[in-house]
Each structure stands twice: as C-alpha cells, then as structure tokens.
Chains A and B, each alone.
Chain A
Amino acid sequence: MSGSSSDVVRPAKPSGARTPSTDNLLSPWPKISLKSGGIVLLIMAVYAWAMTGTESAPSKLIEGFPAIVDIVSRMLPPRVEFWIVAEHFVETLQMALIGTTGGIILSLPFALLAARNISPHPWIYQITRILLNINRAIPELIFALMLVAAVGLGPFGGVLAIAIGSIGSLGKIYAENIEAIDPQQVMAVRATGAGPLTTFLYGVLPQVLPVMTSYSIYYFEVSVRAATILGVVGAGGIGFIIQQYMALFQYDLLFGALIFMAIAITLLDRLSDLLRRRIT
C-alpha cells in the first residue's frame, strides 16, 4: 500500500465492551443483578441439600452434648506413657522415610511419561495422567487395609501403603515441575549434538532437581501425617497405640499421645521448612 507508513501510530482498536455510564460508576451502592442474586440462591440450596443429606441439625448437637462432655472429662488430665509413645512415633517416622523414598523411586518413571514436554507420545501422556489420578483417588488407608491383609500386621504394610499411595501425588507434581522448565536451556544442550539421555541429565534434571527435592521433603511431612493413622488398621506406628488406648477407653492416655504427636509434628514441620529454605 502506497499511502501507509510503518511509522504511523494507530489508535488501539475499540473493543466490544460498552463503557458504563459515569453515573453508574460514581454510585456508592452495590449493584445486585438478577444473575448474582440467582447465584446466591443456588449456593444456599446446595447447603440445604447437603445438610439434609448428612442429617446435620443443631438439635442433634445439643442431644449429643452430654456424651461429648463425658469423653472430654475422661481425657483430662492427659497422661503420657512417654517412652512407649516415643518409640511408636519413631517407628512412624521410619515408615514415612522408607515409604516416601520408595514412592519417589516408583513415581519418577511415571513423571517422565506424564510430563507433556518430554513424554514420548500424547497417548502415553494421557494414559499415565489417568493412572496417576486413579492412584490419587485412593487414600493410603485403603492401600494399608489391603496390604496388611497381604503382608501381615506390622509397619512393613504401612511402608508399602505409603510408597504405593504416594505415586499419584509425587508423579503428578514431578511431571508438573518438568513441564515448567525453560525449554530453551534444553534446546541449547540438544544443539551440542547430545543424545536423549544426556540431554535429559544435563538440560532437564539440573532445572528440576531443586524443586523436586524441596517437594519430596514436604511430602515426607505429609507421609508422616498419613502414617500416624495407618496403625489403626494394624500397619504399625503411633496409630497402633492410639487404637489401643481407644479400645481400652484410656482417653487420658489418648489425649497425651495426641499432644505428643502435635508437638512432634510441629517440630518436624519447622525442621523441614528450614531445610527446604536452603535449597535453591
């Protein structure tokens, strides 16, 4: 075109939206539209539906109140069988450590297949994602129930339950870490003529290793919390003690064990925080 020059500054194209009137913009009162009113009604209906479904009613809470008071009074004052509780908590930590490490190893191949940018084929990517989601939908407790039946009572069932139960979460988060890398850095390694394995090791891995390590430490914390409950179904650790106290109606010892657990897990969280902050 002869008339146009690239130096001419063109005004921005007007978008489709109307500019609201100045009167409207100046008014301090909120505008309630038919749509927002409808949304509020809908949300209220959902709550009403859920409360009926769960038979939640204030009257029931009042009826049950004396029993709650009774249990709480039997919890006080708390007592702690320190060495017994400590020993089982250490076992819980050991379960979480071995279980999480097993989960990390098991989830890595899934992560490689479930990362869109390095997965060998879109179908493999989709199938792996579905498998990871199925795994995530099943709680560790269910795995523990099945595995205790298979390998017998004791902490090893718990270790296996944590390892298998963490594949879904770890695999998904690792895959997302791999998807977030800078592809240019990978391309630079590929441009040297490096093969697929070494391109991964020198282009991809250094970029994801810090964030993966950080997340793995965090997941160890999550596994400790998950491991506390596994003893309830016979898979060892502090949950086993808690289960016993409940069975014997020793609510004061139960409360003591819960306090111990709360303090120990808080300390662990702080420790893992400090550790993760050093990883960059």
Chain B
Amino acid sequence: MENLVALLIFLPFLLALFPALISNEKVRGLTVYIGGAIIAVCAVVTAFFWFADGGTMVFDLPGTEMIDHIILAGDFVLMFIIIWLSVKHHKTVISLLSIVQTALVVWAEKFGPKVSAGAHIRLDWLSFIMILIIGIIGVAIGVYAVGYMRGYQEHHRDVKDRRRFFFSMIFLFYGAMFGLVTSMNIIWLYFFWEITSVCSFLLIGYTGTKEAVDNSFRALWMNLLGGLAIAVAIVYAIYMEGTLNLYDIIENGKNMGVLVPVAMFAFAALTKSAQFPFSGWLLGAMVAPTPSSALLHSATMVKAGVYMLLRLSIAMNGNYVGQMVYIIGGFTFFAASLLAISQSDGKKVLAYSTISNLGLIAACAGVGFEETAWAAIFLIIFHAVSKSMLFQCVGAIENTTGSRDIEDMQGLAVRFPKLAFILMVGIAGMFLAPFGMLVSKWAALKAFVNAPSTLMVLFIVFGSSTTMFYWTKWFAKILGLHEKRGKDLTQMNEYISMYFHAALLILLCVSFPFLSKHVIEPLMVDMYGVSGAVITDGNIAIMVIMICAIFVVPCINYLLTKKVKDKPVIVYMGGANVGDNKNFIDSSGEEKELTVSNWYMTEWFGEKKIFRPSVAFGTLILVVFLCVIIGGAL
C-alpha cells in the first residue's frame, strides 16, 4: 500500500517531464494518453486495494525523510518561481506573500520546538472518493485536452504554442492533488497546496495576453493569501499545540475549542473554493483554454478547497468557524446564482454556477452535521462529473461554431445533436429534479431546517429558484428550431471523454442508492460514528423511478407521437411571416429577420449591480468572524 500511494503521488511528477521534453505532437499526445492511463489505473488500483482492506489506514511512505527534504527544497523552488515571475511582470508585491509564508513555515519547522509528526499519510473514505474523482475525471480531462489543444492552436494562431508546458502542468496538478488528499502532515499538505496554487496560476496565464496575466496574478495572490493562512496555522500548531498532524488539529478544534488553526485552514479553503470575497479569481480563470478551466472547476483545485472544508466539518459544528463558513457559503450560493442569470457567455455561466455550487458545499460542510456532510459529498461527486462534462462540451462547441455565447446555441439540438445531447445531460445533472444536485439540495434543506438556521433556509430556497432560472433558459435555447446543420469539428478523443462523462453521470444517478449505502454511509460512520442517511429508502426508490422517468417518459412520448399525423405549419407572427419561421414583414413593409433572445435582466442581476456588494459582504463576514475567533483565542 505504501508503495502504491507513493507511486500515485510521485509518478505524475515524473510523467510531467515527458510532455515537457517531447516536441513531436503525435508522440506527445501518445505519452499523455499512456501517462493518463497509468495514473487512472494507479488511482483505481489504490482505491480498490484500500476498499478491499477497508477502514482508515495511517502509514508512512518509503523514504519519508528524503521526501521531507525534497519538500523543503520544493517550498523554496515554488517561492523563487513566484518571485521571478512577479518581478518579471512588475507585480513584486505579490512575491512578498510567498516569501512571508515560506519563511514562516521553514522557520517554524527548523527552529521551532521539535514535534513528532507521526505518520504522514492517511487513507480513509473521503480520500478514497477524492482519489477516484481526480484519477478518473481529471485524467479524462487530460485525454480531452490533447484533441482540444490541437484545435485551439489551429484557431488561435496568435497564441504561442506552449502545449508542452501545458500538459506537464496538468500532470503536476494530478500529483499535487493526490498528495493533498492523502497527506495528514500539514507541512506536506501545505506544499501540495502551494503547488496547486502555482500550477493554476501558470495555467491561467497560458495565452500570455495582458488580460490572462492580470487574471493569473489575481488568482495567485488570492490563493497565496490562503497559503499564508495555512502557514500561520502551521506555526500555531507547532508552537501552541505541538503537532503537525491535521487530524490532531481537528480533534483539538472539536474537543478543546482550539479554533485558530481550524479557522485558518477554513479560510484557506474558502480562498481555494472561490467563495465570496475570493470569487474573482475563478471568473478570471476563464481566459485559459477550456481543459484547464475544466480541470480547475471540476476535479481539482476548487475541490481541494471543499475537500478541506469537509475534513474540518466535524470541528466546525456549532462554533464561530462553522458559522463563518456556512454564512459565506450560503450567501455565495445565492449571490453567484443571481449573477449567473445576467451572463450570456457559456463559460461564465458555468463559472458562476461552480462558485454557487461550491457555496452550497461549503455551507453544508460548515454546519457540520452528518446529514449536510452526506449532501456535501454527493454534491462534490455529481458536480465534478457534470461540470467537467459541461466545460468540455462548451469548449467543443466553441471550437466548432466559433462562439461560446449562449445566444449562438439556438437550436443546437438540430445543428449538432451529439454535442447538444451531452450539454443537455450535463445541464440536467446540474439542476433537474431527480439528479444529484437536487438530492443534495434536498438533504441540505432538511439539515438546515433541523440546524436550525433561518438565514440558511432562506438562502437555499431563494438560491435554488434562481439556479433553476439560468439553467432552464439555457436548456430551452438548445432545443429551439434551427434549419441548417453545420459541420462538427469536434475531435474523436474529445467525444470519448465527453461520452465517458455522460455515461458516468447516468450511471451515478442510477446507482445512487448503492452509492449512498456502500460508500457515503460508511464515510459517515467513519467521520461521525453514526450514519446519517437523510433520505429514506422509500424516497430513494421514488427518486430512482423519477430518474428513469425523466429519460423514459420523453422517449415513450416520442414513440407515441411518432405515429401521430400532423401538418407542418409556420409559427404565428400575426400573419406577417414571409413564408418561413425566420423572417417577417416589418411595419415599413421590409423583410426582417427574426431573432429571439433569452432574458438576462442585467439592470437587476448584472455584475455591475451585484458583484461588488457581494464581495463587500463576504469580506465583512470574514473579517468580523476572524476577529471574533482570533480575539477569543487571545
């Protein structure tokens, strides 16, 4: 097992070298496929062996001491990279953040009291789920990226071809994420955390345009702020608690009320999961090529944040840290879904919906009840699959039609049925009745009613109504009428990845009761000692019926209506059509093309109106609670 986990974490770092060194496109693609396959197999095998053994495992990797040294050196390497790049782009101030935190960590580790860290690695149900998500979804995105980036470079001739760099970053990301979800030593955790920050920074800046560079630095400083918080937590843990073990910190937080490190970790997690006031970086990350958005939004990066929150959730139950997290989370859920209404850029809608969903997960984790944790884990799984699929699909649509604006997706179901199918499955997965998101919303609502928290119940009911709005209008756009059928430029491997996701999503929905019983409930027992299935078996049965119904009923109706005789007719436009559905005669007697557009209600829900107040509100909550927590500890 030790060797397997070591392989899982460090192999991706090694594999990252290959795409970086190989300049031939075909060979590089092949190495990415093979490397991805190896990683996926590693992840699945690790998960399988762990599952077969069962129970939490705590152990050290072979050569731990050497790895300790490497990590120490690694911290410095990361710091120098940040310093070099920020000086190069005249953003020297940002490097200060990195210098301070690295200094803090190294100083505390080398000169602080010696503490025995105990084992470094821990595998439990939560890591098991995360490993599978990263190993499967993450790798599928890598496969998609090979084809996508080829098309991307053909379309964007002005962008320098840095695909070698791009793919090695993706592999680094896998390794860092595996390390992050398995480490129990906080120095290790901090190192992997920093790698994800730096990798995402480099990926966002891929195109090298001014906008990309600015956005990448915004992502960097926000994430470094989180890193700084972890550094503070490390110092606190070493000096005040005498431990380097994340689980000791959580235990102390839960039983003895030592909240400062917990609050610091929670703060870091909030930055990483792009909650208000830190949502800006995830929106800025949209400038990067689609695979990196998919990677940041679904399987990795933001999931690191919510993973951390879930870990902490037992220590957050019923205290100020928990309140801070769930108020910010609940608020983000509502505010981001409002903002999504006013967006017509497909990727931006996805970005806001990611932020919004992460808000719900954060809120669930923050309350720290077993029901909400149950909901949060489901959300993580479903969100990872459907969001990854949606990003890939929007990317493919952009490559094919040259636009990712929702208004240009009119009648996609007629023009590109395959892409539209994937898009619809993804959207359905995000909000439609019996799918994953809804289950989680349901559980969250029940849990918050029990909590009890009026504010959170209100956030959820309002947030779910606005969520419904922006997904429905997108969904409706795809199904509209359109006459011509274009040429689909989507590459084979993009389709492989997307179909794989679609199949996975449907499988997850159908196997939902099984999943709940055999994966999530043991996890609950693991974390809380009791299993908290919120939704009874009877209701689960009904939901499975509904899932089937949502696929089957339209199909049956299709068969039923296939035979029905109808006479085609043009749409009603007050009798002024010019013989088809697209043109009409206007008041001056001229022919005019009809355009039908969705509502965006910018004067109500626009970014100008809502974004800044939301950031201000988030900051206020954060500052007030941190003051209370830290003030209370002093």
A and B part of one assembly: no
Question: Contact residues of B with A, CB < 8 Å?
Answer: none
